[in-house]
Chain A
Amino acid sequence: MKKLIFASAAMLMLAACGEKQEAAPAGDASYQETLMAALLDAEPGDVIEIPEGRFAFDRSLSLTVDGVTIKGAGMDKTVLSFAGQIAGAEGLLVTASDFTIEDLTIEDTIGDALKITEGENIVIRRVRTEWTGEPKTENGAYGIYPVQVKNLLMEESVAIGASDAGLYIGQSQNVVIRNNRAEYNVAGIEIENTFDADVYGNVATNNTGGILVFNMPNLKQPGARTRVYDNEIYENNTKNFGLEGTAVASVPAGSGVVINANDEVEIFNNDIRDNKTANVIVASIFSSGLSTDGMEADFDPYPDGIYVYGNRFEGGGGNPDGLELKALKVAVAGLGSLPDVLWDGYVDPALSGPKEVLCVQNGEAKVLNVDAPNDNKSPKVEDGAAHDCAFDKLPPVELKGPLAGL
């Protein structure tokens, strides 16, 4: 069954011929009730088509029915503007499975733009979430935010201006994130407490940190097995505009790829360049400054099985963020740059040594061990042998069920 939701032609005309030509007009407000009702009345199999135009919303939208597709006329043609939002913590909240959303933009929401929670078989395709204007702390936290989902494809989408993460995948399983673009967010793409994620073909630039793979304590699942490959991760040097207390607040500006407390992460065949703190950072939860009082006992705070190989590194590390890192750079590199890989130096006492934490097979790339366990007393650029090791390569993520073959 196909359901078409068209605003009347008259409304579209009005929107097109409005006398005011302001910078970011909110758009046609009469469509809110129409779309809200369509979402309430949706039945499995419905395709809710949103026509070309700018539509204004003052409350959040939500969908709770499985098997629904929401389809716009294109990222640049169908814009849902929440610039005048007065209620609701997100633009569109989806709590349903077998959900597809494509070809539209969600703009200037007061909280998260698109949140999808506890669903299976989710496709997000050519969706843009954007906070217009300069990147700022007042922007909503997450652009595209699937959490606790299984079997997810996110592709050809765009996230701009999120005050936390542009594309954020949390507590999920079996995930493919490909050919997206993340710009001017605190974190461009963040994979958190997620098992089996392939992150490839993406562009992350002008964020504070490009691509993050994190594990946070006290959640239902940790995360492991993420492959970050074939991405372009460059010039992620935007000042951190996240608020203290968030996981990303501790990410220094100028970070390319950041691994925190996650396990079995492969970083290969990426172009990573000109991230002025470091192209790759590998850290334990202790470097995030969190209280150990607030961590449940079974949380694994250490990263292990991190494998960096075959990337094309260029520039980067020349002007790290923060006084401590600047002082460190002078101490270990003088006028030169920090090495491509920064490691906090924590090794899980249950492991045999650094070669179970971090292997680097990446040409000339060197590792700086900042010696965080000893209050940074003896930071050193390690010789190639210290991380000259390899892990078994992870198998590709295969999308399953209705997403198989996509």
Chain B
Amino acid sequence: MISKFAAVALIGFSLAACSQETAPTYHAEDNPEHLSDWGMIAAKDGALRLSEGVTPYDLATPLFSDYALKLRTVWTPGGKPAVYNPDDAFDFPVGTVITKTFYFPVSENDWTGDILIGKERSLNDGPKGKSLALDHLHLVETRILVHREDGWDALPYVWNEAQTEAVLKRTGAVVPMTLHRDDGRMEPFSYLVPNANQCAGCHADNATTKEIKPIGPKARHLNKPSSFAPGFNQLDHWLAKGLLAGEIEAPAPRNVDWTDETAPLDARARAYLDANCSHCHNPDGPADTSGLNLEPDASGPAMGKCKAPIAAGRGTGGRPYDIVPGRPDLSITVFRMETTDPGAMMPELGRAVRHEEGVELVSKWIAQMEGGCS
């Protein structure tokens, strides 16, 4: 095992040493072995550098992935714009490459598998463009979504231990880690890098067409103050850059930041459930078999109120309904967020530890609901 890892690291080293900086490249057919071949981002001199023309973005409320921090980028060929859509992912031109890099704060620069909870780092603006300083950070994986002639493809790349290169790993990987919570609790867990089919498990949000699509670049997720262009709304920034085109209605759909305590509790909880659940739990999604819809406009039994589970098995946790108003302790939704049993937890993939802050938010939201189930 060790020797295999070393070999991968060596390959990584030699490539990093001999490769020049690659300009952003759309690979129409082949799936390059190395992340750097895409030319979107590259690790160099202790920083993850974004190539020119590659735009970082972030979301009002993101998906929780075991406390991983994320750097998202988008690049379109020839600077062609995506076309605005109020509800769905924007319509990006063929050739678009989206990256999402998962990284963790660490206390030692040598990788021990020990990770901390932190906040996304801001990017540095240097003469060579934007970059993410890598000291006390560990890069785990970068997922590529590429828009090809016949649709989007999803490709997982896993970073080497030397942190110089990420290598295509279509069958995914398991990375042993230990989470150190702020209060000192330690939780060993297996971080899952999804395989290419599992990518589709979330990114094919319509289970009938099974078409892979981006999830994050939707109006309601992007409609927020830009973290990368101070003073701009992110949608306006995309418009100004020519990355987005089309008529934007006013006001554009907007999810709140789930951590924003000045926002209404309902809006925070719905933003959280939207980002974490609705790619499957929508009326046409892979979880439409359950009849539970967690898109922002769902309500009543469809949203889970007093709704009996369908085919949940022991995922019910012995509780009667998805949401029992006023009783988070009796609500299946909360159980499924709390548990780390892969046969019962939600989401089914991409989470191995409990998101305690998310559980707390959704519990509070259910606790203040009036009624009950008769």
Give bound CA distance, A376 to B200, whole Å.
50
Q: Given contacts A39-B197, A88-B349, A296-B301, is CB(A291)–CB(B306) below 8 Å?
A: yes
By secondary structure, the B interface counts as: loop
A295 engages B301 (CB within 8 Å): yes
A64 engages B291 (CB within 8 Å): no
Residues of chain B within 8 A of A40, CB atoms compared: 170-171, 195-197
Give bound CA distance, A164 to B321, whole Å.
17
Q: Give the interface size class of chain A.
A: 35 or more
Q: Is B305 located at the chain interface by the 8 A CB criterion?
A: yes
With beta carbons under 8 angstroms apart, the residue of A37, A170, A288, A296 that contacts B289 is A170
With beta carbons under 8 angstroms apart, the residue of B172, B204, B309 that contacts A246 is B309
Q: Given contacts A37-B170, A37-B171, A243-B314, is CB(A111)–CB(B207) below 8 Å?
A: no
Residues of chain A within 8 A of B319, CB atoms compared: 244-245
The minimal Cβ–Cβ distance linking A251 to chain B, given in whole angstroms, is 14
With beta carbons under 8 angstroms apart, the residue of B174, B300, B314 that contacts A59 is B174
B343 engages A243 (CB within 8 Å): no
The minimal Cβ–Cβ distance linking B145 to chain A, given in whole angstroms, is 16
Number of chain B residues close to chain A: CB under 8 A: 51
Q: Is A124 located at the chain interface by the 8 A CB criterion?
A: no
A244 engages B373 (CB within 8 Å): no
With beta carbons under 8 angstroms apart, the residue of B190, B301, B316, B317 that contacts A86 is B190
B313 engages A111 (CB within 8 Å): yes
B313 engages A218 (CB within 8 Å): no
The minimal Cβ–Cβ distance linking B154 to chain A, given in whole angstroms, is 11
Stretch from A140-148, A313-321, A345-353 that touches the partner: A140-148
Chain A residue with the shortest CB-CB distance to B209: A118
Could you give, for residues 297-337 of chain B, a 1 whenever the CB lies within 8 Å of some chain A CB and a 0 otherwise?
Answer: 00011100111111111111111110000000000100000
With beta carbons under 8 angstroms apart, the residue of A33, A112, A118, A293 that contacts B313 is A112
Q: Is A206 located at the chain interface by the 8 A CB criterion?
A: no
B321 engages A59 (CB within 8 Å): no
Residues of chain B within 8 A of A296, CB atoms compared: 300-302
Give bound CA distance, A85 to B208, whole Å.
28
A218 engages B302 (CB within 8 Å): yes
Q: Is B352 located at the chain interface by the 8 A CB criterion?
A: yes
Residues of chain B within 8 A of A295, CB atoms compared: 301
Q: Is A339 located at the chain interface by the 8 A CB criterion?
A: no
Residues of chain A within 8 A of B190, CB atoms compared: 86-87
* Pairs across A and B, CB under 8 Å, 25 listed: A59-B172, A86-B192, A87-B352, A95-B207, A111-B343, A140-B313, A141-B311, A141-B343, A148-B288, A163-B314, A164-B311, A164-B314, A168-B311, A218-B302, A218-B307, A243-B316, A243-B317, A245-B320, A247-B308, A247-B311, A291-B321, A293-B373, A294-B301, A294-B305, A294-B321
Other 4 A-B pairs with CB < 8 A, given A88-B349, A117-B286 = A95-B286, A216-B291, A216-B308, A294-B305
Q: Top 5 A-B pairs ranked by shortest CB distance?
A: A141-B313, A245-B316, A294-B306, A111-B343, A218-B291
